[in-house]
Structure 1
Amino acid sequence: MASTDAASTDAAPSDAAPSEWRRYGRTGGDRWRTLASGLGQTLVTAGAVVLLFVVYELWVTDLFSSRDQDRLADRLATEWSAQQPAAGVPTSPAEVPVGQPFAVLHVPRLGEDWSRVVLEGTSEEQLSQGPGHYAGTAMPGQQGNVALAGHRVGRGSPFLDLDRMQPGDPIVVEVADGWFTYRVLADGQDPNGVPGQQIVTPADVEVIAPTPGGAADAAPTGAYLTLTTCHPRYSARQRLVVHAVLDGPGVTRAQAPDGPPALTEG
């Protein structure tokens, strides 16, 4: 009997070791499963946040910008209807406070009825509502460079398809008493060597100089219009730039109640 008890006592430790190992093994596995589960949940949450951000940037901001554009267009229509019509040629807008709308941009190449209200200033506060005018650059119809910026993607995506612009395409700027028509340059057309379209870095600010590509403090040598946006799509690494030149003196509303013929060019 004693021998049986001794055998049982001797067997206990040998049976206990595998049991303890199994218990510790289960605990280690549980820890890894818990970590993996937590990591998976974190990744799912992060993915959902990224997806929501993309939806917000690409669609929700477009809705906000569209509402802003409707409001700004109504405001300009009311202000312009109260002004005396010009006789002769349209008047270039006087100095405009930052944040105020002052013109409507029409680009037939971007859509049959494509138009956007332009605000003074190029901070995000302005660009979230529509294209913005670089403060200090020329006003429509003036000698110099009318430089405008707009988002490529999100916030209404006004310049989403700016890369579709072709030499000779009209860009019409509507002001209180008429319209000024610009035409996209062909490479080699401009005597100052201004190209019709180029891709530059954000540091290449000379594209909005009085003569694009020239010195910021030099006198203008022509009447230009420059559109700038991010490039490529979904990136701010570079800038896509389109240059156009003024095509004639402009027309008043009295001369062309429905706008210049360029508005109907496709």
Structure 2
Amino acid sequence: MTAKHRGGGKVATAAQTLPDVDFRHPDLPALDRPAPDLPAPDRPGSDARPPGAGGPRYAGSPSTASPSTASPSTGGPKYAGVPSHVGGPSVGQGPGGVRRSSDSPGRRVARGLGELLLTCGVVLLLFLGYEVWVSNLFAERKQAQVREQLITSWARGQDPLKGQDRRNLPIAKQVALPAGQGFANLYIPVLGKDYVRTVVQGTSDRHLESGPGHYVNSQLPGQLGNFAVAGHRVSKGQPFLNLDRLRPGDSIVVQTARNWYVYAVLGSRSAYLAANKLADPDKREAAVAAALAKPDSQGVRGREIVHPAAVHVIDPVPNHPRAVATRALLTLTTCHPKYSADQRLVVHAQLSRAVPRTGSLLPAELPGGTI
């Protein structure tokens, strides 16, 4: 429709299909020019406007800004369709537009503490990532180098043990092995058909980063007494990560330059087989633990969990420092539980047989073995 200003003037046209939406603040004064008298709206959103509304408006369109009276708050001109507070101090600002801080000392302290905890959390995650993954990469590389050096020395006819790993060799002065040198390979079939780790001399942190380490005061493979080996459970190669999976009767095979030594985990094999038939998982696990903990005729258990200071577990007769060794044993130690060093998980095994190495033939306890 078309409307003319009283007294002459421009002609304004409003589209009838678009409802008029008044965006102006109710306290705004009218424009300096009088608006035409339009019919009162008969419903909300009608395109008709009340007198003094300042002319036709369109939905979604900004008001035609024209200077009017000075704003009392800012001293500048006011415009139709613009809220009167625009240009003045906003919420949270004082005179002159200076923002007042709403933070109390307590809030600032809490924010700082939160940022500190977040930073510590990120650093901790990075450290754990290094310990669990990055250190494993470095350790696996060192282990591969040690194994390659050992295989090369065997191929050249060199034996680091100098033939002192004969079965039932009485306890005597140990052969001098340089710290960190590999001298035997350790196979545990229950931990994987391709599980093999080269054992190095020494149990310091530096040596254990290269692989399982031989306790220097314990016996050698095949000797009467106790061939004791330590290894990390988590990080740095984690060779004994799943040592708790060993059960009574499981085979552990040690390879030297001249012989294969097959050890069997101690404990009650019959009790383990009976426990393995239980349907309830909790009862089965408890029965398996009891089978492993059952001592043999010399009081040696298949598995035990001890304090780190319990060094007698690597004696020639474990936990019996005054006893005389009459058989060849193997002891594996690692941290317990996983991701903790509060205790030690200890597994004992007894030598069941030894066979000379013949070319590339493997003992029957290993996959593809025939001897």
- Kept in 1: contact 2:165–2:223 (CA 8 A): no
Give the alignment partner of residue 38 of structure 1, picking from 101, 112, 116.
112
Corresponding residue SS for 1:219: coil
Pair 1:259 & 2:362 matched = yes
Alignment counterpart, residue 313 of structure 2, candidates 187, 194, 207: 207
* 1:72-111 CA distance string (max 9 Å, x none): 11101100001179xxx99459331221111111000111
Gaps of 5+ in 1: 1-19, 21-25
Question: C-alpha offsets along residues 85-143 of structure 1, whole Å, 9 cap, x if unaligned?
Answer: 9xxx9945933122111111100011111011111111101112211000110000100
Q: Which residue among 194, 208, 212 is the counterpart of 2:300?
A: 194
For the residue of structure 2 that corresponds to 1:41, the secondary structure is helix
1:27 Cα shift?
5.9
Distance 1:157 1:263 in 2: 22
Aligned 8 A contact 2:164 2:175 in 1 = no
Residue identity in the other structure for 2:190 = R
1:143-191 residue CA offsets vs partner (Å, 9 max, x unmatched): 0000001111111111111111011111011111221111101245732
Moved over 6 A (4+): none
Counterpart residue identity of residue 257, structure 1: S
What is the DSSP-based 3-state SS (H/G/I as helix, E as strand, rest coil) of the residue aligned with 2:126? helix
| TM-score after normalising by structure 2 | 0.60
Map of 1:53 onto structure 2: 127
Equivalent-residue separation in structure 1 for 2:361 and 2:335 (angstroms): 33
Amino acid across the alignment from 2:306: V
Aligned partner of 2:152 among 78, 86, 100: 78
Higher helix share: 1
Match of 1:232 in 2: 337
2:350 aligned partner, one-letter code? V
The residue correspondences of 1:1-266 to structure 2 (distance < 5 A) are 29-83=103-157, 91-92=165-166, 94-187=175-268, 188=294, 190-215=296-321, 218-248=323-353, 250-254=354-358, 257-264=360-367
Distance (Å, rounded) in 2 between the aligned partners of 1:189 and 1:237? 24
**Counterpart of 1:5?**
none
* Aligned equivalents of 2:158, 2:106: Cα separation in 1: 77
- TM-score using structure 1 length: 0.82
SS in 1 for 2:361: coil
Tell me: CA distance 1:210–1:123, structure 2 relative to 1, closer, same or farther (3 Å).
Answer: same
Unaligned 5+ segments in structure 2 are 1-93, 95-99, 167-173, 269-293
Alignment CA distance shift 1:141-1:209 (3 Å)? same
Q: RMSD of the TM alignment (CA)?
A: 2.3
Structure 1 distance, partners of 2:314, 2:331, is 7
Amino acid at match of 2:197: R
SS of residue paired to 2:248:
coil
